[in-house]
């Protein structure tokens, strides 16, 4: 409307038009808008979530708000929230209840520094008093607003005496009873109460009767005392902290100061899930005539519904030796989510001893207090209280192990029972482990037929046996030297049944045979046949006699049983992954394909012979032996020209297992290991 026309309307008529226009506006537009801010959202104790809600109008904090004016949606779901808004008309009266017993001496400088920070954070009209408990309970400073005087008293603190925390808390409540402001007591202790006549229940009852909030700090103390101090805080409307290092005290006291002097409202709720990694919080404040909203979307830590606790201990220990065991957790916990977890480690106390000294270096609990308590023989209870995961690792905590002397070698099992976790629910799977207390080694013996007789055209197999109480499942080391007969026509070696062929190595040098295991190996059976020495066939017409003698031996089997897969050595050659055994540099090459071969291959494989030029037309015998050295069949016997030859082997009517293709040409013996599987 042009200004000239507005001037023609009477003032009364213009006012009426404005009133009609205002009445026609929606109610939501007529209401004054509040500036709502939701900040400091803390998911670290999920499912418990805390936040700060600041409500302003025209830049000034709105006072007098109550819980009924707030509504919170988490991902669109209404939450049952608790809101604490300060009353600005009242001053804060704070009693600093400080442990100055002898045990806190090392942390006293940091405690004084942290307490002075809290004093500095108080408002001009706020007041504080200082109560100490050590050898006796002292009112070091009555309530005053003089911050300089309060800090001077703190500087003069001296640590001495015992611990009377409960009686000191009662005395602080008595001092606060006469104060008219918001009443708070900040209590710190580093030990179990050993002097008080009052109990924790007495303290809680008195504090609630006088409307005093107790804020407690448990400094590096046992879980049962932590529980008492947690109760004092939670059941009186205060806050509880656990601290394991003096350097953390300043941060904790600053947090308590923020709570005491905070002009904004503090809210909390218990979320109905622990799964989402992002959460949208919508906060609405409405007091009827004024309203406002604020929405924030934040990443959120989460905890898996399924977790695994695994014991990890050394494979073996000798008597009186020490080692380290660990408890691992998977998946790796979130670094942003505090961990309160307890479980019981069960073991045989007659075989190992576990001192109550947990390891935390390079673990989730690094540099934080972990409690170990012996609840019964062979049962240790681990408790991690509000641990802030230090590393993104699955290694939760470690513990020392000392092996004890026993009458024989023993396997000691370690297992986890009764896990309990605070906060987001988790279902645990427990994985045990075991260690060997290895008491001894023992020598074994070699048995061998020293004289055998065989006729013309006969081939004989002489077993070399290991005796002396051989047992399966126990690692064995074997090394022997055998004197071979010089007059024998042909000499070859086949593996026995004692160990896998790939775990053996041997060499014929002149009239000497050296056989050894590739390190320690696990025997496959107790028949004791390490290798078989094959003589013949004898091409002479007469009966011949040969003497085979043992020159030297080194044979040991450990007394400690072991578990696990048998070691396997595989060599990649010519594109085929197979076990290759070579007794001497062959002049004729022997291969087979496929290897391994199976029923799906029709039980057939092809033996491939490579005859060099210098052996063109040489007489060749190709035999098949089973794993015991028994002759199964002859695939070929006769001359072969130089070049590559393919000879089929059909094992369809034979049992699955290891077979050997043995090629003999003059004094050349070449063996190929073949594996037949079902």
**Ranges 55-59, 70-74, 134-138, most confident:** 70-74
Task: With beta carbons less than 8 A apart as the criterion, state whether 656 and 616 touch.
Answer: no
Q: What is the pLDDT of residue 3?
A: 37
492 φψ region: left (φ > 0), alpha (ψ -120 to 50), beta (else): beta
Q: What is the pLDDT of residue 443?
A: 67
Domains of the chain (ranges; CATH) run 28-87+267-299 (2.60.40), 92-258 (3.40.50.410), 306-437 (2.60.40.680), 441-558 (2.60.40.680), 571-677 (2.60.40.1930)
Strands 512-517 vs 460-467: parallel, antiparallel or unpaired: unpaired
Q: What is the pLDDT of residue 190?
A: 87
Can you tell me whether residue 560 is helix, strand or coil? coil
pLDDT at 504 over 60: yes
Closest CA to 536 of 465, 611, 576, 485: 485
CA distance 147 to 136: 25
Q: Tell me what the mean pLDDT of segment 630-649 comes to.
A: 90
Contacts with 630 (C-beta within 8 Å, 6 or more apart), sequence order: none
CA distance 570 to 461: 27
Mark out the alpha helices in 100-188 (DSSP H runs): 108-121, 147-155, 165-176
Q: What is the pLDDT of residue 318?
A: 79
75 φψ region: left (φ > 0), alpha (ψ -120 to 50), beta (else): left
Distance of alpha carbon 202 from its chain centroid, rounded?
41
pLDDT at 179 over 60: yes
Q: Tell me what the mean pLDDT of segment 22-36 comes to.
A: 59
Give me the sign of the Cα torsion angle 567, 573, 578, 580. negative
Per residue in 112-153, pLDDT tens?
Answer: 999 999 999 888 889 999 999 987 899 999 999 999 999 999
CA distance 59 to 145: 29
pLDDT at 8 over 50: no
pTM of the predicted structure, to 2 decimals: 0.47
Per residue in 396-439, pLDDT tens?
Answer: 999 999 998 876 678 899 999 999 999 888 999 999 999 988 77
Q: Tell me what the mean pLDDT of segment 515-528 comes to.
A: 84
Per residue in 218-232, pLDDT tens?
Answer: 988 888 788 899 999
pLDDT at 546 over 50: yes
The mean pLDDT of the chain is 83
Which tokens hold the place of 475? 């690692």
Per residue in 320-376, pLDDT tens?
Answer: 889 999 999 999 998 988 899 999 999 999 999 999 999 999 999 998 889 999 999
């Amino acid at each position: 409307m042009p200004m000239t026309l507005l001037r023609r309307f009477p003032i009364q008529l213009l006012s009426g038009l404005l009133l009609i226009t205002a009445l026609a506006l929606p109610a939501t537009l007529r209401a004054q808008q509040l500036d709502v801010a939701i900040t400091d959202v803390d998911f670290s104790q999920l499912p418990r979530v805390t936040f700060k809600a600041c409500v302003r109008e025209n830049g000034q904090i709105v006072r007098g708000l109550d819980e009924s004016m707030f509504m919170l949606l988490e991902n669109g779901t209404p939450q049952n929230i608790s809101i604490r808004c300060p009353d600005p008309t009242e001053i804060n009266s704070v009693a600093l209840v400080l442990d100055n017993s002898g045990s806190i001496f090392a942390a006293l400088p940091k405690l004084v520094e942290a307490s002075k920070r809290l004093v500095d954070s108080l408002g001009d009209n706020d007041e504080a008093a200082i109560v100490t408990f050590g050898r006796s309970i002292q009112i070091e400073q009555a309530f005053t607003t003089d911050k300089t005087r309060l800090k001077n008293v703190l500087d003069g603190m001296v640590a001495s005496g015992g611990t009377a925390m409960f009686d000191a808390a009662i005395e602080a409540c008595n001092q606060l009873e006469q104060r008219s402001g918001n009443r708070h007591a900040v209590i710190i202790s580093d030990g179990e109460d050993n002097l008080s006549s009052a109990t924790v229940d007495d303290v809680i009852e008195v504090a609630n009767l006088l409307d005093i909030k107790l804020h407690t700090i448990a400094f590096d103390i046992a879980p049962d005392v932590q529980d008492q101090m947690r109760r004092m805080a939670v059941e009186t409307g205060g806050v509880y902290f656990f601290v394991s290092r003096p350097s953390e005290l300043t941060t904790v006291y600053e947090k308590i100061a923020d709570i005491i002097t905070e002009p904004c409202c503090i809210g909390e709720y218990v979320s109905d899930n622990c799964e989402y990694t992002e959460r949208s919080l919508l906060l609405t404040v409405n007091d009827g005539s004024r309203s406002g909203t604020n929405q924030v979307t934040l990443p959120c830590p989460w905890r898996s519904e399924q977790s695994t606790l695994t014991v990890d201990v050394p494979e073996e220990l000798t008597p009186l030796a020490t080692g380290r065991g660990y408890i691992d957790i998977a998946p790796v916990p979130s670094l942003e989510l505090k961990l309160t977890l307890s479980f019981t480690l069960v073991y045989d106390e007659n075989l190992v001893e576990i001192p109550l000294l947990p390891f935390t270096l390079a673990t989730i609990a690094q540099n934080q207090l972990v409690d170990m308590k012996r609840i019964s023989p062979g049962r240790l209870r681990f408790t991690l209280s509000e641990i802030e995961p230090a590393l993104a690792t699955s290694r939760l905590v470690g513990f020392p192990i000392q092996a004890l002397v026993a009458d024989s070698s023993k396997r000691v099992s370690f297992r986890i029972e009764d896990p309990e976790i605070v906060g987001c629910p988790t279902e645990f799977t427990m994985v045990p482990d075991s260690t060997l207390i290895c008491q001894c080694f023992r020598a074994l013996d070699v048995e061998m037929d020293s004289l055998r007789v065989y006729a013309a055209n006969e081939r004989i197999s002489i077993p070399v046996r290991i005796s002396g109480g051989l047992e399966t499942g126990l690692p064995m080391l074997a090394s022997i030297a055998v004197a071979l007969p010089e007059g024998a026509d042909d000499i070859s070696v086949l593996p026995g049944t004692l160990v896998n062929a790939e775990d053996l190595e041997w060499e014929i040098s002149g009239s000497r045979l050296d056989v050894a295991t590739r390190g320690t190996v696990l025997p496959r059976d107790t028949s004791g046949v390490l290798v078989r020495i094959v003589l013949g066939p004898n091409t002479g017409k007469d009966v011949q006699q040969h003497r085979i003698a043992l020159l030297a031996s080194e044979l040991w089997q450990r007394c400690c049983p072991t578990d696990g897969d048998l070691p396997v050595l595989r060599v990649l050659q010519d594109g085929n992954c197979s076990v290759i055994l070579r007794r001497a540099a062959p002049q004729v090459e022997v291969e087979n394909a496929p290897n391994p071969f199976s029923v799906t291959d029709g039980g057939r494989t092809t033996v491939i012979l490579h005859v060099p030029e210098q052996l063109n037309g040489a007489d060749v015998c190709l035999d098949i032996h089973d794993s015991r050295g028994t002759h199964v069949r002859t695939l070929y016997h006769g001359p072969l020209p130089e070049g590559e030859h393919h000879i089929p082997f059909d094992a369809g009517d034979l049992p699955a297992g290891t077979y050997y293709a043995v090629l003999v040409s003059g004094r050349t013996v070449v063996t190929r290991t073949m594996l037949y599987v079902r």
